Chain A
Amino acid sequence: MENINLRISLIVLAILAVSASSVFAGVNSPYWGGSNPNPLKMHPGETKDVFFNLQNCPDLAANCAKKDDIVIVSLIEGSEIAQITSGESYTIPYGTADKYITVQVSVPENAKAGDSYNVKFSTSSSSGGSGGSVQLSTGYYVDFPVQVIAEAFEPESTSTETPISEKSDNKIVLWTAGGVFIIVAIIIIIILINQLSRRKEQV
């Protein structure tokens, strides 16, 4: 009996929540790290806004929480080049996939080609289980490298190849101009000859 009194209840009941499951707001990332990375490539001095899509059960599946989710975003790494400009808190309505986190990345002017940075932020769902001794929730880490690349070479004069249709148009213009020139020349010659003959007749 004494032993029973000393027992610690860790709540055996998992209540109804145990049988439920949930998908919390997920995130799409255009760049990623890992074993097969897809880095964001930028030039020294360049600034770029990168968008990360947030979604809350767009499949409307039976196991969804079927409620709006509040997502908190925190920058973990890369604050020297990145900042979250769209805010820390996002309400993601159930069944939607049209909210975006905006991360502005600015590579310093003095960065060199070959330099690299890492940007990492986390998203945490405010939703979670109820009942049981341990409630669970989910979150995501978005982690991507930023590679500094050399400025693209832009020649002062670029070669512009004339399209075929323009070439043929030019030819027609040349022929027409040539023809008109010759006709005018002939008319002038005729007029001169006539004038010369009249003068001779007068003489």
Chain B
Amino acid sequence: MKKRVLITLILMTAILLPYASAGFFDFFNKDKVKLSQEAETNVSVTVGNAVPVIISVQQVTRGPSVGFVDLLAGTTANVYFNFSVRDDNGAADLNDASARAVFNKSAVLNSATGCVRVLEAGNVRTYQCAVVMNYYSEMGIWSVNVSIRDNSGNSAANIANTFSVQALKDISIAPLSISFPTVVPSSVTPVLSSANTTVTNKGNWEVPLNGQITIIAYDLRGAITPSEIIPAANFRASGVGTVCTTGTVLANGTSLIINNIALSRGAAGNTEDVAYCLTSVPLISSQTYSTQGGGSKNWKISI
């Protein structure tokens, strides 16, 4: 009886030993341990510094939906990104001051002035970075690079995110009205307007030369007799230069491209002048003719 119990115990030990002590039978593995070369050895394990890992990057909406950015005409817009970082040494090992975000397009870099820690949960911290975008920032896809270091100098970075800057069309014009010197009926002597219109680009949309800066003109009507008109076709408009000869001949209620003008984007060089010329006057009565006469409308400059 005792013999059987003993055999059972030996069997149990043999079966359970691999589970109770992992690697016990490795002792017999000749490839790893040579029985003939037994020696005492010190075993030490150094647990090193864990490198921080960026686990998520997310745009905070600045536009109708995530992934798009609305710029603000004539000024700057803050674009916010949140990113979360895990450090297995503990969140306190993260160097908050090193958190940063950089937006990049066509070698133009916009950097966050600073990132602020907004959340901490366990080994994870979340930072929010504000990057300033100018009204003239190039439209299209920008890439986002967020990074941070831990207190040992190990860094983590993520460059996988992008967003799209929208096309911003916004112009200012000055002055808001134009006038012409006094003229005589049936005159065929061209006269220039007393001032040009300065167009300033307050957005990021660029117009190439002879591109899409358009004007819709309307006939000028008499203040006393609105049925008498100076037709829109008697006017020309263009960039400054030989407007009276090469300017676009205007047409009543029709959108036409203004010749010899382009519009750039940027903080400087983003203004252009439009000149006007009254090329001839029909045989009409003496009165004031303007766009305020009955049936006329404001002229409209568009991009």
Give A contacts to B, CB under 8 Å: 3, 5-15, 17-24, 26-30, 32, 34-36, 38, 51, 53, 55, 57-59, 61, 63-64, 97, 100, 122, 124, 128-142, 175, 178-179, 182-183, 186, 189-190, 193, 197
Contacts and interface: CB of A to CB of B under 8 A. Distances in A.
B74 A23 contact: yes
B65 to A, nearest CB: 7
Contact of A21 (B63, B185, B198, B216): B198
22 contacts: A8-B284, A14-B175, A14-B179, A17-B177, A22-B173, A23-B172, A27-B169, A28-B71, A28-B168, A30-B68, A51-B63, A59-B202, A134-B193, A134-B291, A135-B291, A136-B173, A137-B298, A138-B172, A141-B212, A175-B19, A183-B16, A186-B16
Contacts of B194: 12, 14
B80 interface: no
Given A6-B286, A21-B175, A135 B73 contact: no
Given A9-B288, A23-B171, A130 B176 contact: yes
Given A9-B287, A18-B195, A140-B302, A63 B174 contact: yes
A32 B139 CA distance: 10
Given A11-B288, A18-B175, A135-B176, A58 B139 contact: no
A157 B63 CA distance: 35
B140 interface: yes
Contact of A22 (B63, B140, B172, B288): B172
B292 A135 contact: yes
B28 interface: no
Interface of B: 1, 4, 8, 11-12, 15-16, 19, 63-65, 68, 70-75, 135, 139-140, 164, 166-185, 193-195, 197-198, 200, 202-203, 205, 208, 212, 214, 216, 220, 276, 278, 281, 284-292, 298-303
B72 A97 contact: yes
B238 to A, nearest CB: 15
Contacts of A30: 63-64, 68, 164, 166-167
Nearest to A132: B177
A133 B169 contact: no
Contacts of A14: 175, 177-179, 194-195
A147 B199 CA distance: 33
Given A14-B194, A28-B70, A182 B166 contact: no
A134 B178 contact: yes
Contact of A8 (B4, B16, B183): B183
Q: Which of B74, B177, B197 has the most chain A CB atoms inside 10 A of its CB? A: B177
Contacts of B167: 28-30, 32, 38
Given A18-B175, A137-B300, A55 B182 contact: no
B281 A8 contact: yes
A139 B291 CA distance: 17
B73 A58 contact: yes
A189 B292 CA distance: 109
Contact of A129 (B12, B19, B175, B182): B175
Contacts of B286: 5-9
Given A8-B286, A26-B73, A57-B74, A135 B179 contact: no
A134 B170 contact: no
A53 B175 CA distance: 26
Nearest to A189: B8
A38 B301 CA distance: 24
Given A7-B286, A8-B185, A53-B70, A133 B220 contact: yes
A8 B4 CA distance: 132
A182 B15 CA distance: 8
A8 B182 contact: yes
A133 B73 contact: no
A9 to B, nearest CB: 5
Given A59-B74, A133-B179, A186-B12, A140 B303 contact: yes
